[in-house]
Structure 1
Amino acid sequence: MELCITNSTRILNLNSLNRTGLPLSVSLKNSTVEFMNQNYFNSQKLSSFSRQIHLYLHQPQFHRSPVRIFASSSSSVALGPEKDRLPADIEVTESPEPNSTVRLSVEVPEAVCKDSYKRVLNELMKQVKIPGFRPGKIPESVLVGFVGEQNVKKATVESILKRTLPHAMTSVTGRALRDSVRIVTKFSEMEKNYSSLNSLSYDVLVDVAPEVKWNPGNGYKNLKIVVEIDNDTAAQQAAEEELRRRHKSLGSLKIVTDRGLQVGDIAIVDISATTIDEDESNVQNIPDAETKGFHFDTEDGDKVLPGFLDSISGIQRGETKSFRLAFPESWRQEHLRGVQAQFTVECRELFYRDLPKLDDSLAGKLLPGCTTIEQVKETLLQKCREVEQTAKDQATDNAILDQLYKMVEIDIPQSLFEEQGRQLYGAQLLQMQV
């Protein structure tokens, strides 16, 4: 693979590193399933039968050749809490689904269901108090009649799920993504199945680590990437601008009384703008261009609308100027691109900077720990070079990722999209709060 870095006129968008939607920070190989952290089975006791398990029904879109797996009761694979030893093996059929999802069809034999039923009764024996019977000595028929047969069935189904799900997940250990396990069979269907057959079957969907498929085979070996770096990131220029900014912060502002605005001054202005049609009949305000008490630094004139600084040059305190300007096609707000506007600017205050002489006496104020201006310049230059190198590294990563993105096919699991969305939402929420 050949990599070229050139100084051009445009830098790649450093925020596009994850533009493919791939959360690169996720370690797929080390992903594990922690289904017990879900809200399905977070209770260790079966004393309450009113709680509901939220299970979602999902119909398979297509089926391929299933892989039949037998999960042994003696398996020692840990998936969260320690697995309960079962009196018989459960049967798990694994079949692929779209978007790197695997469907596990679980068949629980009658022996496991009966054992779970006995456990539920034993738990009820310890907790239920019936007049005339000692704890633990209540006949089964009396106990079931007191609690309710339907409630006992629900508790048994829940117990079966709680005991068998860790064994069912054995086949996807090491491949399953965190927090992606969901039971898709309705609880009512499982309850009906258990009542009629005294056995249980249910389906589980789990997202697994996606497989990357190369489109051109080994074409990436001859891949050539050119990285474009913006000239504005030059360390020397950035260091000079930073020194100028720090020097300006040490100066004081004084009121201009005998002249108009010139480069280097700071003006406090009120700005209003209206649109202009060709027939000048339809005039509308431009809210995005209106502001009151705007602190306009003339040294930043290249960062505002082109021609704005020239149009107000020479304006004095209390004076108002009106002029026409057109928003360029590259303007950041799309709805204003190419719009002809009539601007009205009123100068409320006008200041000039009284800057101290730039010599060694200011070194410590410009950059703590420095004793000379040359030392300040060298330190700032070194820091800017580090920033420039970081920008080059990020731009290189972006360029490589952009090319690889065109050469691979990958089915992204829905859970990864959701996790990425949660992270972006959280970051945006924090930014809004700040």
Structure 2
Amino acid sequence: RPRAPRAPRRARAAAQAGFGKTKEVVDEAPSLEGVKVIKTSKENCRVELDVCVPAEMHAYLFEGIMKELGRSIKIDGFRKGKAPPRSMIIGEVGEEEVRDRVVEAVLRHTIATAMGAVASDAIQDSEAIMTPKEELIEQADGEGDFKYVVTCDVNPVLEWKSEDCYKAIRVKTPTPLTEAELVEGAEADIAAKRRELGTLRVKGEGVLEQGDMAITDFQTFHKMDDGTLGDAIMAVQGKAYNIETDQANTLLPGFVEGLLGKSVGETIEYDITFPEDWGQANLRGKNATVKAKMTEIFERELPELDDDLVGRMFPGQGFTDLAGCRAALLEAKTLEAAERDELDLQGQLLDALAPMVVSGVPRTLVEQQGREQYAGRLLEMQAAGTVGPEALVQLSDPALVNNYIAGKREEITAKVKQALAVADIFEREGLTFDEARLQQECDNAEDEFRRFGQEYDPERVREQALELLQAEQVLAYLRENAVVE
């Protein structure tokens, strides 16, 4: 970008009325009070500011640029400190460079004054110069008024469908798990712990069976409309990847099913369509081809399931026999189910808020929310070990983030409305929370970012922690006043 000039305290040389023409001397910097700003409200909390910089200030800034250039360039025949004629400066530097510098000077000198018209409401970093660069350059001759348009987002004034419409929200009671389903969940926990204590050994012969573990190399490729293979999908590939055949959270749909019954060295190839809930938004609904080769098979020898094994499966939990262990796990599953049902009710309450908000939301907040959601997904994938460092860098590409926001704009907008509604209810109903909890939430979040080597903005972390605690109080209020059907 063109360098910003150092604004001189006094401009003694003559300014120009156009290039190569002389204008009256400007001795003092004109007051910023002469800058005129007309504010026009647009939809979705956007404000347009028409800025008019008076001719006197335009000339002053133009003169400052010429003086700076005159001091910085060297022209034969002019001793140091002696300003060359204006025409020679322009000829040496170039008219376009001079005008670029003038535009930069005018904007830097006046933008703060222009934004002062919305200073209390403007959303940080949402401002943008809308006047085309060509128009700015054309004006930058030091003659006449200098005009430009800047837009920014402002904090919304929340409008509800009706007063107190968020009170007495109707929610449906979730269908509870049956006793058999709870028992099945407890038994699954026991089976998982028992499997961890099992002994793996190389399966010399035979095929992959349920309960075995396989080591595989795999790649995925884009499937083109004509049926041919496209580029490899770098984010979905693995080398020496472990596959547990009796665990549901496998990497790709159909992967385990394709490997079962195969022996070491055999390959599989099949087509998939990435599901709509796939982690990478840009792959959802896309067709691909999976190629995999099984390089090793391990079979697991499980220990005898008896009272003696309980202490090893659940160390430090006080279980002494299998029956007591099963009873305790069943009780824990019952509590988990109750908590899950409560979270379901809370989700219904929050989902009901967005449609009640009829005011628009700023684009800046939508994009900010979208970036945070995308970053959160990457953090979850990294924590789960489903993506490596190289894939994480590729998935962090700004183009992918923008695609994610574009594809989920409606959903993200609803989330923003939801957050604004929560903040408004918190204030309307005079709710409070413990400040010590706010600090604890901030500390926990920052520790998590540091643990995964992620950059973060402490101010934004605090804002998110504040939103979280406000949401807790608002949910408790809405839950208390809800109509549960």
Give the TM-score taking structure 2 as reference length: 0.48
| Within-5 A mapping of 1:170-249 | 170-195=116-141, 197-228=143-174, 230-231=176-177, 238-249=185-196
CA distance in 2: counterparts of 1:414 and 1:240, whole angstroms = 49
The 1:219/1:129 distance shift into structure 2, 3 A limit, reads same
| Within-5 A mapping of 1:39-54 | 43-44=3-4
CA distance in 1: counterparts of 2:33 and 2:82, whole angstroms = 28
Amino acid at match of 2:56: A
Amino acid at match of 2:51: V
CA distance in 2: counterparts of 1:229 and 1:392, whole angstroms = 8
The 1:386/1:231 distance shift into structure 2, 3 A limit, reads closer
193-202 or 417-426, larger mean C-alpha shift: 417-426
Structure with more helix by fraction: 2
CA distance in 1: counterparts of 2:172 and 2:119, whole angstroms = 41
Residue 102 of structure 2 contacts residue 140 of structure 2 at CA under 8 Å; is this kept in 1?
no
Amino acid at match of 1:404: L
Q: By how many angstroms is 1:86 displaced?
A: 4.8
Partner of 1:119: 64
CA distance in 2: counterparts of 1:95 and 1:151, whole angstroms = 33
* Deviation per residue, 1:347-377 (Å, 9 max, x gap): xx998964324224541x3134345436866
The 1:359/1:126 distance shift into structure 2, 3 A limit, reads farther
CA distance in 2: counterparts of 1:148 and 1:317, whole angstroms = 73
Match of 2:366 among 393, 417, 420: 417
CA distance in 2: counterparts of 1:356 and 1:96, whole angstroms = 73
Q: By how many angstroms is 1:202 displaced?
A: 0.6
Residue 45 of structure 2 contacts residue 153 of structure 2 at CA under 8 Å; is this kept in 1?
yes
Q: By how many angstroms is 1:168 displaced?
A: 0.9
Partner of 2:53: 108
The 1:130/1:227 distance shift into structure 2, 3 A limit, reads farther
Identity, % of aligned positions: 24
Residue 154 of structure 2 contacts residue 362 of structure 2 at CA under 8 Å; is this kept in 1?
yes
Q: By how many angstroms is 1:268 displaced?
A: 9.8
Q: Secondary structure of the equivalent of 2:166?
A: helix
CA distance in 2: counterparts of 1:427 and 1:85, whole angstroms = 49
| Within-5 A mapping of 1:252-263 | none
Partner of 1:325: none
CA distance in 1: counterparts of 2:298 and 2:134, whole angstroms = 77
* Deviation per residue, 1:193-221 (Å, 9 max, x gap): 34485221111111222332111333323
The 1:351/1:117 distance shift into structure 2, 3 A limit, reads closer
Match of 2:306 among 358, 367, 385: 358
| Within-5 A mapping of 1:3-402 | 43-44=3-4, 86=31, 88-141=33-86, 142-195=88-141, 197-228=143-174, 230-231=176-177, 238-251=185-198, 266=211, 297=246, 354-360=302-308, 362-363=310-311, 365-370=312-317, 372-373=319-320, 388=337, 391-392=340-341, 394-402=343-351
Partner of 2:282: none
Structure with higher RCO (Cα < 8 A, 6+ apart):
1
Residue 198 of structure 2 contacts residue 300 of structure 2 at CA under 8 Å; is this kept in 1?
no
CA distance in 2: counterparts of 1:421 and 1:299, whole angstroms = 29
* Deviation per residue, 1:232-277 (Å, 9 max, x gap): 798776444312321233245899xxxxxxxx975899xxxxxxxx
Amino acid at match of 1:398: G
Aligned residues: 286
The 1:140/1:199 distance shift into structure 2, 3 A limit, reads farther
Residue 63 of structure 2 contacts residue 142 of structure 2 at CA under 8 Å; is this kept in 1?
no
RMSD: 4.7
CA distance in 2: counterparts of 1:100 and 1:298, whole angstroms = 48
Residue 319 of structure 2 contacts residue 325 of structure 2 at CA under 8 Å; is this kept in 1?
yes
Residue 250 of structure 1 contacts residue 356 of structure 1 at CA under 8 Å; is this kept in 2?
no
Q: Greater Rg, structure 1 or structure 2?
A: 1
Structure with more strand by fraction: 1
Q: Which runs of 5+ in 1 are unaligned?
A: 1-39, 47-83, 256-263, 270-293, 309-315, 319-331, 334-348
390-399 or 107-116, larger mean C-alpha shift: 390-399
Amino acid at match of 2:306: L
Give the TM-score taking structure 1 as reference length: 0.52
Amino acid at match of 2:150: V
Q: By how many angstroms is 1:172 displaced?
A: 2.1
Q: By how many angstroms is 1:94 displaced?
A: 0.8
Q: Secondary structure of the equivalent of 2:109?
A: helix
CA distance in 2: counterparts of 1:44 and 1:405, whole angstroms = 45
CA distance in 1: counterparts of 2:48 and 2:262, whole angstroms = 75
CA distance in 1: counterparts of 2:112 and 2:298, whole angstroms = 74
Amino acid at match of 1:366: M
Q: Secondary structure of the equivalent of 2:151?
A: strand
Q: By how many angstroms is 1:146 displaced?
A: 2.9
The 1:220/1:193 distance shift into structure 2, 3 A limit, reads same
Q: By how many angstroms is 1:109 displaced?
A: 0.9
